[in-house]
Amino acid sequence: MTLAEKLAEFAADLTFEALPAAVVNDVKLRALDILGIAIAASAHEVGPPMRAGLEAWAGRGECTVIGAKFTASAPIAIMLNGTLAHGLDFDDTHAPSVTHASAVVIPTVLALGEAGGLDGRAVITAAVAGYESIARIGMAAPAAFHRRGWHATSVCGTFAAALAAGVCERLDRAALTSALGIAGSFASGVMEFLQDGSWVKRLHPGWAGQAGATAAALARAGFPGPATILEGRYGLYRTFVDADPDTRPFDTLGQTWETLNVGFKPYPACHFLHAFLDCALSLREAHRLVPDAIESIECLVPPSGMPIVVEPYPAKLRPRTPYDAQLAVSGEASPAHAVRRSVQPSVFRGRRLRRRTRGPRHLRERAARRGSRARSR
């Protein structure tokens, strides 16, 4: 049995009654979280151009577009709502797979649930199929997608959306396998936005959801896709990360619920920054710190986070856009900024803000002892 067939078997056989109560409650909270974020983002900078760009293609669909006066077909609604869900970088993260699961899964199942007149139980079941698949596809190559310049949320999310959409469409195992096979030709999303702070990362969950739903619709109509799409010779792992997948995560489907390991975000910034923000806020409260009292701040960033929040280093010192700053250890979402909300990154430029690269072993040892540290004068 291929990995796609394992996922398809799990999704086809999944029932609401088989879901632990904790998983059901968790999905309900995630839906509320995503809807709240999307509503806020609809009035933010990302909302108007998305609506203006896609309204003409909305058609006469019956799906809600958050923050809009028009409805849309399911694919356009998924694209718009998924982008809004990720628009503030406030949506949840499954750390082991490094994916923003809910921004892909929730807009997909809500749109198809609305279009198909599904009840809440069916929508939740489809959502869990999506959560469990995006987690495992990412966990099979932890952080490898990001190292090669791929955004795992978009790449892995396309498969998850195909599976979630297929469950909404009540596809059987064979059709779900084909949906995953088709999704492999749609999977995309590169990290080049890190070079100039542009917005394309925000599009990735919406694109993944739309692409996955399209794959499921084609499979429903009888369009075939390769069952070896994940581990095959030209499958996901060999073409995207040039490695064989770790198949162990797929062996725990239906036993370990990765849905429960998706973490809500306390801050609208990259999750690699959250521990530093916690430390900075705690130090501020404990020692009444102000910027002028701080000589330096040392943040121990894991190797997987370096390309995202530290590199390219000159740009991270001087974020070019507010969105760029949400992905910079020295930006507006930095520990420096957390000390006092009015402080600007310039306060810690020059001699006070330096990068020192250490090996993974050194980082682990230092992190175990101290975590993030501010040195006072």
Q: What is the pLDDT along the chain (377 residues), one digit of tens a residue?
A: 999 999 999 999 999 999 999 999 999 999 999 999 999 999 999 999 999 999 999 888 899 999 999 999 999 999 999 999 999 999 999 999 999 999 999 999 999 999 999 999 999 999 999 999 999 999 999 999 999 999 999 999 999 999 999 999 999 999 999 999 999 999 999 999 988 889 999 999 999 999 999 999 999 999 999 999 999 999 999 999 999 999 999 999 999 999 999 999 998 988 888 888 888 888 888 888 777 787 777 888 888 788 888 887 777 777 888 888 888 887 655 666 665 443 344 444 443 445 554 545 554 555 455 444 444 44
- Count the Cβ atoms, other than its own, within 10 Å of residue 251: 10
The helices-and-strands tally (H runs, E runs) of the chain is 17, 4
Place of tokens 């993944």: 208
CA distance 116 to 361: 52
- The pLDDT assigned to 361 comes to 54
CA distance 192 to 200: 9
DSSP 155-221: HHHHHHHHHHHHHHTT--HHHHHHHHHHHTTT---B-GGGGTT-SHHHHHHHHHHHHHHHHHHHHHT
- Please name the helix (run of DSSP H) or strand (run of DSSP E) that holds residue 344, with its range, or none: none
Rg over alpha carbons for the chain, rounded to the nearest Å, is 21
SS percent in the chain: helix, strand, coil, step 5: 60, 5, 35
CA distance 117 to 114: 5
Whether the CB-CB separation of 213 and 107 falls below 8 Å is answered with no
- The pLDDT assigned to 348 comes to 42
Handedness of CA 269, 275, 278, 283 (dihedral sign): negative
- The pLDDT assigned to 308 comes to 85
Please name every residue paired with 376 in a beta bridge, in sequence order, or none if there are none: 294
Measure Cα distances from 366 to 281, 288, 353 in Å: 20, 25, 19
- The pLDDT assigned to 307 comes to 82
Please name every residue paired with 323 in a beta bridge, in sequence order, or none if there are none: none
Question: Helices 200-220 and 173-183: crossing angle, nearest 10°?
Answer: 140
Residues in contact with 26: Cβ distance below 8 Å, sequence separation at least 6, in sequence order: 259, 260, 262
* DSSP 8-state class, residue 94: B
CA distance 351 to 331: 16
- The pLDDT assigned to 310 comes to 85
- The pLDDT assigned to 292 comes to 77
